[in-house]
Amino acid sequence: MPHQNNIYLDNNATTRIDDRVLDVMLPYLSDSYANASSSHLAGLTIQEAVENARWETANLIGAKEEEIIFTSGATESINLVIKGLANESHKHIITVTTEHKAVLETCRYMEETGFNLTYLPVAADGILDPEILAEAITDNTLLVIIMNVNNETGVIQDLQAISKIVQAKNALLLCDSTQAVGKIPINVKDLGVDFLPLSAHKFHGPKGVGALYLSAKAKIKITPQIHGGGQQRKLRSGTLNVPGIIGLGKSCEIAGREMEANTEKISALRNQLEEGLLKIEGSFVNGSLLNRIYNTTNICFPGVNSERLIMALQNISVSNGSSCSSVISEPSHVLKALGLSDENALSSIRFSLSKFTTVEEIEETISRIHSLIKELKS
């Protein structure tokens, strides 16, 4: 059972569903249960609600409704793009060492099928130098994959500069915007991206639903990975997850309307948390202090094992960003790519806030961490 005073600061992993989102979903789990692909009146009514959610999703990212495909989330969307391009004649893919595992593991699979992969490094602040991309890209490059906001550090890449380089070589650009959509303004046309995946549960929507933006030129190159009834213009067959899609649409509508207010509130809380924790001797922030999203801070506490600290925090939920098993804890590949030692990577904690975070929760977190680090170091 959750602690009575649970403090949740792991919102880059998932977020609490907004009550207003849940409210609009409930009818589609009870009375309004018809299949959106059915031709009867009940089905057509559901289809109209689905298309409204598609419009809300497209509107949030500056896309057209016909450019949106609903999926189970960003991981499926990423797989659909990368594997869906397997039949193209060009066999070179470029990505970055700090990408999410959904990208990196899919790219490793593509290497096994005969594709050539280039993994670009980032600087110590987590930023990719566009000149490094310009040197790596060739006329044989099919796809460049670079995320918008990093899930562990919150670092934001310069996608407009990146997209110009990609477009000059007539390659395609996949931008994992899972941590960006719903939090910061996104316009796919301004960014110059061809593919943009997103997940509802990262901005107070339900789990198990997301979407993929496909530009008009990119759509014709994609081979479907799920075959069946030919739903969603044959790009992603299967009965639509109507309650999830309705929830996604409502999350997009709320995010677009409240983004400015959320940004002001959450950034102030993040800065308060960071200021308090950086008073701990030797602590420092991982990644850029200038080019990052407002809800995230990743802090290293040298000499403190992050797993022990997380367990000691009990009712305060944070993340160390590492890949754990019952036997061994591995340092984060993202932090290693920034140049951190194994020891410092394993001493780092990610704090990610949401619109539900309060001043009182931040104050308690600062106090508890100060006390626990003194205990752990002693």
Spatial separation of the C-alpha atoms in residues 58 and 203, rounded to whole Å = 15
Q: Strand pairing of 92-96 and 116-120?
A: parallel
Domains, the chain, with CATH or none? 7-16+258-377 (3.90.1150.10), 19-254 (3.40.640.10)
C-beta separation of 271 from 297 below 8 A: no
For the stretch 76-131, pLDDT in tens is 999 999 999 999 999 999 999 999 999 999 999 999 999 999 999 999 999 999 99
Q: pLDDT category, 378, cuts 50, 70, 90?
A: confident
Give mean pLDDT, residues 40-67: 97
CA distances to 236, 353, 357 from 361, rounded to whole Å, are 42, 10, 7
Whether the pLDDT of residue 196 is over 90: the answer is yes
Task: For 181-242, give the secondary structure using H, E and C.
Answer: CCCCCCCHHHHCCCEEEEEHHHHCCCCCCEEEEECHHHHCCCCCCCCCCCCCCCCCCCCCCH
- In the chain, the percentage of residues whose pLDDT exceeds 90 is 93
Q: Strand pairing of 7-8 and 316-317?
A: parallel
Residue 4: the pLDDT is 60
- DSSP character string of 243-256: HHHHHHHHHHHHHH
Whether the pLDDT of residue 286 is over 70: the answer is yes
From the candidates 107, 175, 300, 324, give the one annotated as an active-site residue.
324
Spatial separation of the C-alpha atoms in residues 152 and 348, rounded to whole Å = 10
Residue 333 CA from chain centroid, whole number: 16
Q: In the annotation, is 252 catalytic?
A: no
φ, ψ for residue 288 (rounded to 5)?
-65, 140
Residue 324: the pLDDT is 40
